[in-house]
Structure 1
Amino acid sequence: MTTSPLRRCLVAGSLAVTAALALTACGSSDSPDAGPPASTHTVKTVMGDVSVPDAPKRVVVLDTAELDSALTLGVKPVGATHADVESGFLDYLSEDQVSGIEDVGEMMTPNLEAIAALEPDLILTSKIRHGDKYAELTAIAPTVMTENTGYPWKANFQVHADALGRKAEARKVTAAYAAHTAEVTRALGGAAKAAATEVNMVRFVEGADIRVYGKQNYIATILADVGLGRPAITDKAKDGFSYDVSPEKIDLADADAVFHSTYGDAKKSKQTQTVGSGLWKNMSAVKNGRVFPVDDQLWIQGIGYTAAEKILDELRADLTK
């Protein structure tokens, strides 16, 4: 078998990241081993227009939202970063979905050498995560970045779909999601009843205060799509993201229903002491049996339509008990 110029360069080069990036240039279109140039299209991104293959075959994703988008659209990446979790890739994704995907490092510190070795033809990420690495990433492959992550996840998904050449599939995904949210609203008794049900999302975070989520984040958009009400405390959230409290003020998170998740160790995140406190136990949601622990990886970290569909099922199941 003929060894590609890129492979020969990577094997012969040093292990330094800068060397690995420089050597990616060996795989130029002038190489005798290169096939006919692939057809391309232009994607408008926060970093400017980017020319990408019409049907990329070797995609690397550098965050959880991009991984969710690719898998939702039927594209299995050749490489992905992992979140800061024990399970590697997020646990709401099945083994079949993630099998064969090469781990290219922790999300905030991707291994550029490992990415280059995969010979990607497209990289997906966001400016807020990896804007400082844009030049290095584009030296490896066309890199499509969105501005941010989380709250603008639906717009980001459309950018991902454009980059992946999957716009038609994206339309089917968004239509299915809209139908699902409408179904959940009906199951809750209709729009008026859903709006009259105030819901809070609380996250216990190791090394930080307890977060009562506001209206400018991923999970808030799903609650809004179902038409659920939100307590007044959410309007105090900083930048719309979260209103942070200590265990001594957890009663401020009370609502008709409270969902909560934990990031990190239960004790270090104050989850153990908080849910065992009198303030927590005296909340009306607790007394009425309307408090629901949920998976942090699914509800907070997934940030995509595959995660959202699962969240909708859990919302319906819990709120119709």
Structure 2
Amino acid sequence: MTLRSSRPRARTFAAASLTAAAALTLAACGSSGSDSGAGSDDSASGSGSPRTVKTAMGDVKLTGTPERVVVLDTAELDSALTLGVKPVGATHADVASGFLGYLPKEQVAGIKDVGRMMTPNLEAVAALKPDLILTSKVRHGDKYAELSKIAPTVMTENTGYPWKENFQVHAEALGKKAEAKMVTDDYARHVTDVTTALGGKEKASATEVNMVRFVEGADIRIYGKKNYIATILADVGLGRPAVTDKAADGFSYDVSPEKIDLADADAIFHATYGDPKKAKETQTTGSGLWKNMDAVKNGKVFAVDDQLWIQGIGYTAADKILSELRTSLTK
């Protein structure tokens, strides 16, 4: 197989966004029911088609393509921008840049900041006169009644691990199912390219990879198999060390700096949330335990951007992560 560079792939993602942006821009209207779930029971899911979106809070009926969308979390912002939809408003992440730094500045320019992710300013949201609000129950389920009075509100149950399913819900709500297929098809091609670059499925599966996150105010996280980044590693076919099976609910196995050697693997990617000293990154990576790990001694430890690898949660982030995986693991 001929390996492709990241540039043609990036253009494909951009083409999907441009196609999405050129779709019909009809106003959305909706109401909520009592059924729960995710996805849609309507066979017609093209741009502008009347549709019933099954959400964590019940059915939401929509007609047309929303023109004024407000997103209240990072995954929803990634989804909208990936599909060529520029929200009129979005909450900001707890980072200096507000919106996550991996997102192109020209795409987020002009988006109204409606407050912190966990505490959105509902008055600011209402002032934007949205015709659709995207978020999740785990983040804002307690605000659903208020939000749904402002505009039809589509909530997925959770965020992170089910990001692919959530993306389809977002695409359905936005009237962008055709564009979503372009995105997922391109992601699948990119995954194949990376696996091939690593020597094929067998060699990839024999390479055990860990993801470690240093978090200010918490223990060090060795990520398990049920989170956003784990799904990307699994798609590429990379192996995971046995320690990942100890992760609580599959999410993470938390350790102190004195047990960091449990994170050893063929390759380690690590990110930091907050101040490196307060997150114990400085202390840990300077320790003998860290320096004596095989991954460290073999030069297979890679510091990565927390905003991209952990907080992004979407196909635009995933595309960039795949490129970085390929570059790091083929050195």
TM-score class, shorter-chain normalisation, is 0.7 to 0.9
| Distance in 2 separating the partners of 1:77 and 1:170 | 17
**What count of residue pairs does the alignment treat as equivalent?**
285
Tell me the equivalent position of 1:298. 308
Tell me the equivalent position of 1:12. none
Task: List runs of 5+ in structure 2 lacking aligned partners.
Answer: 1-28, 30-47
Instruction: Kindly indicate whether residue 64 of structure 2 is the aligned counterpart of residue 54 of structure 1.
Output: yes
Tell me the equivalent position of 1:23. none
The equivalences for 1:37-52 within 5 A come to: 40-52=50-62
Tell me the equivalent position of 2:32. none
Contact 1:53 1:121 (8 Å CA) reproduced:
no
Aligned Cα RMSD in Å? 1.1
Instruction: Kindly indicate whether residue 291 of structure 2 is the aligned counterpart of residue 281 of structure 1.
Output: yes
Tell me the equivalent position of 1:127. 137
Instruction: Kindly indicate whether residue 188 of structure 2 is the aligned counterpart of residue 178 of structure 1.
Output: yes
| Distance in 1 separating the partners of 2:63 and 2:298 | 54
SS of the aligned residue for 1:139 comes to helix
Tell me the equivalent position of 2:217. 207
Post-superposition shift, 1:42? 1.7
SS of the aligned residue for 2:295 comes to helix
Instruction: Kindly indicate whether residue 327 of structure 2 is the aligned counterpart of residue 317 of structure 1.
Output: yes
Post-superposition shift, 1:52? 2.2
Alignment partner of 1:234 out of 232, 244, 247? 244
Instruction: Kindly indicate whether residue 206 of structure 2 is the aligned counterpart of residue 192 of structure 1.
Output: no
| Distance in 2 separating the partners of 1:171 and 1:305 | 12
Specify the code of the residue in structure 2 equivalent to 1:58: R
Tell me the equivalent position of 2:16. none
Post-superposition shift, 1:40? 4.2
Deviations 1:247-277 (A, max 9, x none): 0000000000000000000000000000000
Specify the code of the residue in structure 2 equivalent to 1:163: A
Structure 1 stretches of 4+ moved >4 Å = none
Q: Which moved more, 1:42-51 or 1:161-170?
A: 42-51
Tell me the equivalent position of 1:86. 96
Instruction: Kindly indicate whether residue 126 of structure 2 is the aligned counterpart of residue 116 of structure 1.
Output: yes
SS of the aligned residue for 2:113 comes to strand
Tell me the equivalent position of 2:79. 69
Post-superposition shift, 1:54? 1.8
| Distance in 1 separating the partners of 2:194 and 2:285 | 28
SS of the aligned residue for 2:138 comes to helix
The equivalences for 1:1-20 within 5 A come to: none
**Greater radius of gyration (CA):** 1
| Distance in 1 separating the partners of 2:197 and 2:233 | 14
Contact 1:52 1:122 (8 Å CA) reproduced:
no
Normalised to the residue count of structure 1, the TM-score between the two structures is 0.88
Contact 1:79 1:101 (8 Å CA) reproduced:
yes
Tell me the equivalent position of 1:223. 233
Post-superposition shift, 1:234? 0.2
Specify the code of the residue in structure 1 equivalent to 2:206: A
| Distance in 2 separating the partners of 1:249 and 1:234 | 14
Tell me the equivalent position of 1:137. 147
Post-superposition shift, 1:290? 0.1
Contact 2:49 2:175 (8 Å CA) reproduced:
no
The equivalences for 1:252-267 within 5 A come to: 252-267=262-277
| Distance in 2 separating the partners of 1:209 and 1:240 | 16
Q: Provide closer, same or farther for how the CA distance between residues 117 and 319 of structure 1 changes in structure 2, counting only shifts above 3 A.
A: same
| Distance in 2 separating the partners of 1:132 and 1:39 | 30
Q: Provide closer, same or farther for how the CA distance between residues 252 and 118 of structure 1 changes in structure 2, counting only shifts above 3 A.
A: same
Contact 1:201 1:213 (8 Å CA) reproduced:
yes
Specify the code of the residue in structure 1 equivalent to 2:75: A
Specify the code of the residue in structure 1 equivalent to 2:165: A
